[in-house]
Structure 1
Amino acid sequence: MDSTADDGEGTGRRLRELRRARGLKQQDLASDDVSVSYISLIESNKRTPSAAVVALLAERLGCTTAYLLTGQDDSRTRELELKTAFADLSLHNGANGEALQAYSEVLASAPVLPEAVVRRARLGQALALEQLGRLEAAVQAFTPLYEDPECVAGSAQWAQLAAALCRCHQALGDQVLSVEIGERALRRLDRLGLEATDDHIQLGAVLVGCYRARGDLVKARLVADRLIGIADDRGGRSAQRQTYWNAALVAQSQGRTEEALALAERARALLAESDRVRHHALLSRVYGTLLLSSDPGDPERAHELLERSDAQLADVGTAVERASARTGLALACVRLGRTAEARQHASEALELLRDEPCLESVEARAVLAHVRFGAGESGPAQETLRAAQKQLRQLPPARASAAQWRRIADIWQQYGYAAEATAAYRQALDDAGLPGLLTPAGAY
């Protein structure tokens, strides 16, 4: 006979929590031997189940009887910890889909796991979502982790989460929020008076990237210069690498190409000992693009680097990253006179982006239009360039969009379309924050 009430209180609670975590209803656990009403009585602590009933319920829930009875299941915990370690390794190697699946499987068993393992899996899941380009879902996953009282301000994980939220909001186009999160986090670090760690330096480097995306290059350079000094003084190789990398991008945006190349070369040297394939690929892409914009430039070397980046990103990159590498290859091919290859790479970049209105798509269209004009395909070239302009108008005005308007204007100008070029140049000035003066009609 069953005993009543308090003896099975913990068992009833664990049964209810695990059933809900599995997405099951009470009737899903019921059978000829165990009725729905009996399960309800167990969960409400009005009945203590027999050993046979516990064994039956544990089998249906995919847990051990030990867990239902005591809340402890060492063998299951070890199995899930190993799965979490596998997911960490997959994420490290760029197998983001595999990592996401493994983390999700671990989290499905969250009630039987220590809180530290659950938090580790939740963080990994959020990072995998970010790497897969599912940015809104990543923000939803990162935010509660960052705001959790258990996440101590100034800790390594706190800094990692702040940096991740900065990256995601910046990639989603919310430059204001991305900078606000980064600045607020750095102010808090200053108030705490902690000695800078690699994670703090990397947070600052991400903020530099956010300033650059917003077009605030003066702040970006000031923070980048400060970070380089800190990273060289007491930062590890990873923090130094990211700092030099972002400083190189800022220098590129300011037209300081030779300095950008030197900074990028320093970042590449620091990356040499790393096994992060994705980081190697992204930095090769940046360096190759810098070589194309330098004077006199090295299109052969740039093509080699961009081709390597493209091959590596095929396995570990997001669609945007892969498209950017293809567009870079297209530009290198244009410089080398390999028109057919340039057309193919630019077209492949657009296929990867699926017609999404983004700067990468605009750039790919501009390159494709340039190739078509050069091949004498005036009609398709104009159509492609106007499609790029249509997409660009859907994006918020910023220095980056101004640069694309300038690129488009230069192409119109090169092929003799003066009116279209003038309009695009004016739009570039507007997006850069330099609108024309309002004057009476006909006045200078």
Structure 2
Amino acid sequence: MDSTAEDGEGTGRRLRDLRRARGLKQQDLASDDVSVSYISMIESGKRTPSAAVVSLLAERLGCTTGYLLTGQDATRTRELELKAAFADLSLHNGAIGEALQAFSEVLASAPVLPEATVRRARLGQALALEQLGRLEAAVQALTMLYEDPKCIAGSAEWSQLATALCRCHQALGDQVLSVEIGERALRRLDQLGLEATDDHIQLGAVLVSCYRSRGDLAKARLVVERLTRFADDHGGRNAQREIYWNAALVAQSQGHIDEALTLAERARALLVEGDNVRHRALLSGVYGMLLLCTDPGDPERARQLLEESHAQLVEVGTAAEQATAESSLAVACLRLHQAVEAQQHASRALGLLRDEPRRESVEARAVLAHAQFSAGESQRAQETLRAAGTQLRQLPPARSSAAVWRQIADIWQQYGYVAESTAAYQQALNDAGLPGLPTSTDQVDVAGAL
């Protein structure tokens, strides 16, 4: 085949691919000067278009003649790579909607871009979808990239994808799959014998969070101790902050509040100007809630931190994160004997969550009921707390659900509802994997057995 035929075949292939990427049909490119059949022959490589035809087709496809003829368009490529860089910056700064739009615009021109730029934009798009709470779409995009043979195990991209998949499946309530992905990825890193990087440490930090969510605090503690050594010796400020942050949450779950506060303070000390705004807000929220867990605590200081966190999350946080901030503020208001303000915050949390069956919704209802009891609205409080229990039963049994049952039981008990509190305590034990003795005809005669 001569060089002219080869050029024609390459032009035709690029014409076809770009037309399809634009969602156009051959007739959409046709005109009085260029028939549908002629476009078909160009795409199949049977005809080499003239310069005038190439110029006409390039104009209709929104590309340059240089790209159609050679596959190269340096000016356009530089423009799109710059747009992808600005999209990354928007994502980092919490302008999620803006980032998603920019990544989508970049991907619309994927055929003219280097593969590395396309993958970078697809990853950014998936992370933006995650931040916007569109978790199913994010998982689909992340999985496609993660399972691509071109994604090399141990690379920075691979670690980012594994970390994001862990987070998304955890947020979707699939603790088994989130832990499985994280454990498999860390095993693979161990097999490769790679030196720990910030990306690897952050993957481990997310796995710690997954362990904590399903109540496996022993494993969470072991991973924290291992990663703390790596982070202190080799990690940057971000990696160290992630580890101390998660270590604080594990300590809190184990009831070691003073230790948790110390670890959270170390995490906060690693914050610097220009850090991710969302991370700063979330860490402030964690520290504020820890202050509320101490006795007597510092509810005024806690509320100040929680208000700062909430103000930032309104701009850059997901709906669930904003709802958690509202619920935390409701708890702070209760500690300050401000029942009306507590009800307002808890109600806003429920509005953000749209009544979805999730732990955050149940916690918001529980604190709302507490505030209603505190305000003397006993009937409304009972209805709210029963609704919280009904919703909690829709969630799979786990340590996290057991902890919420315990909160509900404590509220019932505080206001003198013995039967309701006993039932809630029993449910907490069941969800924690500690069922009672068998009853009725299945009951074992323990005394006789002894």
d(CA) in 1 for partners of 2:258, 2:176? 30
Task: Please tell me whether residue 132 in structure 1 is matched to residue 127 in structure 2.
Answer: no
SS in 1 for 2:94: coil
Task: Please tell me whether residue 359 in structure 1 is matched to residue 359 in structure 2.
Answer: yes
Residue by residue over 1:134-172, the C-alpha shift from the partner in whole angstroms, topping out at 9 and shown as x without a partner, is 111111111121112222111111111111111111111
Residue pairs, 1:3-402, within 5 angstroms? 6-402=6-402
TM-score (structure 2 length as normaliser)? 0.96
Aligned residue identity for 2:139: V
Q: What is the CA distance between 1:98 and its match in structure 2?
A: 0.4
Q: What is the CA distance between 1:274 and its match in structure 2?
A: 4.5
Task: Please tell me whether residue 438 in structure 1 is matched to residue 441 in structure 2.
Answer: no
Q: What is the CA distance between 1:6 and its match in structure 2?
A: 4.5
d(CA) in 2 for partners of 1:223, 1:125? 30
d(CA) in 2 for partners of 1:339, 1:272? 36
TM-score (structure 1 length as normaliser)? 0.97
d(CA) in 1 for partners of 2:295, 2:338? 20
SS in 2 for 1:240: helix
Residue by residue over 1:110-132, the C-alpha shift from the partner in whole angstroms, topping out at 9 and shown as x without a partner, is 00001111111111111111111
Q: Contact 2:401 / 2:428 at 8 angstroms: preserved in 1?
A: yes
Q: Contact 1:346 / 1:365 at 8 angstroms: preserved in 2?
A: yes
Q: What is the CA distance between 1:439 and its match in structure 2?
A: 3.6
Q: What is the CA distance between 1:340 and its match in structure 2?
A: 1.4
d(CA) in 2 for partners of 1:243, 1:30? 59
Q: Contact 1:365 / 1:385 at 8 angstroms: preserved in 2?
A: yes
Q: Contact 1:409 / 1:422 at 8 angstroms: preserved in 2?
A: yes
Q: Contact 2:231 / 2:240 at 8 angstroms: preserved in 1?
A: yes
SS in 1 for 2:433: coil
Gaps of 5+ in 1: none
d(CA) in 1 for partners of 2:4, 2:192? 53
Residue by residue over 1:231-251, the C-alpha shift from the partner in whole angstroms, topping out at 9 and shown as x without a partner, is 111111111000000011111
Runs of 4+ in 1 over 2 A off after TM superposition: 3-7, 272-275, 439-444
d(CA) in 1 for partners of 2:90, 2:272? 21
What is the aligned length? Answer: 442
Residue by residue over 1:237-266, the C-alpha shift from the partner in whole angstroms, topping out at 9 and shown as x without a partner, is 111000000011111111111100000000
Q: Contact 1:4 / 1:47 at 8 angstroms: preserved in 2?
A: no
Q: What is the CA distance between 1:272 and its match in structure 2?
A: 3.3
Identity %: 80
Q: What is the CA distance between 1:418 and its match in structure 2?
A: 1.3
Q: Contact 2:96 / 2:316 at 8 angstroms: preserved in 1?
A: yes
Query: 324-333 or 25-34, which moves further after superposition?
Result: 25-34
d(CA) in 2 for partners of 1:435, 1:258? 31
d(CA) in 1 for partners of 2:439, 2:82? 70
d(CA) in 2 for partners of 1:188, 1:5? 48
Q: Contact 1:281 / 1:313 at 8 angstroms: preserved in 2?
A: yes
Residue by residue over 1:54-106, the C-alpha shift from the partner in whole angstroms, topping out at 9 and shown as x without a partner, is 11111110000110011000111011011111101110100000000000000
Q: Which residue of 2 aligns with 1:403?
A: 403
Q: What is the CA distance between 1:5 and its match in structure 2?
A: 5.3
Task: Mark the CA change 1:57 to 1:387 in structure 2 (over 3 Å): closer, same or farther.
Answer: same
Aligned residue identity for 2:27: Q
Q: Which residue of 1 aligns with 2:424?
A: 424
Aligned residue identity for 1:218: A
d(CA) in 1 for partners of 2:328, 2:171? 19
Aligned residue identity for 2:16: R
Residue by residue over 1:257-304, the C-alpha shift from the partner in whole angstroms, topping out at 9 and shown as x without a partner, is 110000000000011344211111000000001110112211001000
Q: Contact 1:6 / 1:46 at 8 angstroms: preserved in 2?
A: no
Q: Contact 2:340 / 2:375 at 8 angstroms: preserved in 1?
A: no
d(CA) in 1 for partners of 2:157, 2:294? 39
d(CA) in 2 for partners of 1:304, 1:312? 13
d(CA) in 2 for partners of 1:72, 1:157? 26
d(CA) in 2 for partners of 1:277, 1:236? 18
d(CA) in 1 for partners of 2:7, 2:413? 84
Q: What is the CA distance between 1:440 and its match in structure 2?
A: 3.8
SS in 1 for 2:356: coil
d(CA) in 2 for partners of 1:31, 1:426? 76
Aligned residue identity for 1:396: P
Gaps of 5+ in 2: none
d(CA) in 2 for partners of 1:16, 1:312? 46
d(CA) in 1 for partners of 2:392, 2:194? 43
RMSD: 1.4
Task: Mark the CA change 1:4 to 1:265 in structure 2 (over 3 Å): closer, same or farther.
Answer: closer
Q: Contact 1:21 / 1:111 at 8 angstroms: preserved in 2?
A: yes
Q: Contact 1:224 / 1:247 at 8 angstroms: preserved in 2?
A: yes
SS in 2 for 1:271: coil
SS in 2 for 1:212: helix
Q: Contact 1:4 / 1:46 at 8 angstroms: preserved in 2?
A: no
Query: 342-351 or 31-40, which moves further after superposition?
Result: 31-40
Aligned residue identity for 2:245: W
Aligned residue identity for 2:429: L
